[in-house]
Amino acid sequence: MTTIEVRDVHQQFETFEALKGIDLTLNEKRIGIVGSNGSGKSTFARLLNGLLVPTRGEVLVDGLDTAKNGKAVRRKVGFVFQNPDNQIVFPIVEEDVAFGLKGLKLPAAQRDALVEEVLDRYGLGAFRYHPSHALSGGQKQLLALAGVLVTRPDCIVFDEPTTLLDLRNARKVSRVISELEETVIIVTHDLKLLENFERVIVFDQGKVIADDEPSRALSHYVERMQ
Ligand SMILES: Nc1ncnc2c1ncn2[C@@H]1O[C@H](COP(=O)(O)OP(=O)(O)OP(=O)(O)O)[C@@H](O)[C@H]1O
């Protein structure tokens, strides 16, 4: 199981400090990240697989520094964006999933089998040769997830996976996430998503203000928001 160590992390965007000294060790199977708008959650999430490197401090994934080993880190930790349109880059569904496998240089037959398996798993098998842009919002979110899962990361970071979805699709994506064997870290405003999680971390103005089992952490958050 992947362990992510975040040590004295600061993130400065020009004159604005979005994260102000974060120290955390993440090694639970299910971790939720909550907090008000602009509190630094997405910034924090993007640090976890080296999409962003901290301006001060360090992030280590199984001992690998994200600032020095970005590629190896991203093989361990996948990232699913809030808006799947930011993640889906190929015009045809199967091409998009296959792209994630490109670096592995697999024989074509093995690559095709992996693509088929992951599409079937998320009910997208019938859409294999369809244009990616013609999928519904929920299907796009699942395609984005398929494209990450096919590379078999140990841990997946989701940035608000249900925010853009209607209730039915949000439930579907939420069920898919709950069934994942991989370690899951979710940034969300949808507190229902965090039922049965092991740990919830609450951000406020670039700092961690609570870090606890979900019911205690969430009641702290709700109190703070009043
Ligand atoms: N690339 C950037 N350049 C400048 N400022 C940035 C950049 N990225 C984030 N910020 C700022 O950092 C702060 C934290 O942003 P972040 O997206 O991490 O918040 P968040 O907690 O995810 O918010 P939300 O719930 O609204 O998605 C915000 O004030 C934002 O404007």
pLDDT tens profile 5-51: 999 999 999 999 999 999 999 999 999 999 999 999 999 999 999 99
Residue 169 is predicted with a pLDDT of 83
Pocket test for ligand 1, best of 39, 53, 191, 205 (most atoms within 8 A of CB): 39
Q: What is the pLDDT of residue 203?
A: 97
Residue 14 CA: which ligand 1 atom is closest? 4
Kindly give the number of the ligand 1 atom that is closest to the alpha carbon of 11: 12
> Whose Cα sits closest to atom 19 in ligand 1?
38
pLDDT digits (tens, 9 = 90+) for 174-196: 998 999 999 999 999 999 899 89
Structural domains of the chain in order of their starting residue, each with its CATH number:
28-52+72-224 (3.40.50.300)
Residue 35 CB less than 6 A away from ligand 1 = yes
Q: Dump the DSSP string for 141-182.
A: HHHHHHHHHTT--SEEEEESTTTTS-HHHHHHHHHHHHH-SS
Of 50, 55, 52, 71, the closest CA to residue 20 belongs to 55
pLDDT of residue 121: 85
Enter the tokens of residue 12: 């400065």
Give me ligand 1 centre to Cα 47, in Å.
Answer: 13
User: Each residue of 135-167: pLDDT tens digit?
Assistant: 988 899 899 999 998 888 999 999 999 988 888
Dump pLDDT digits (tens) for 75-132.
999 999 988 898 898 999 999 999 988 877 889 999 999 999 999 988 899 999 999 9
Q: What is the ipTM of this complex?
A: 0.96
* Nearest residue by C-alpha to atom 5 in ligand 1: 13
CA distance 165 to 72: 32
**Nearby residues of 24 by Cβ (< 8 Å), 6 or more positions away:** 4, 5, 6, 201, 208, 211
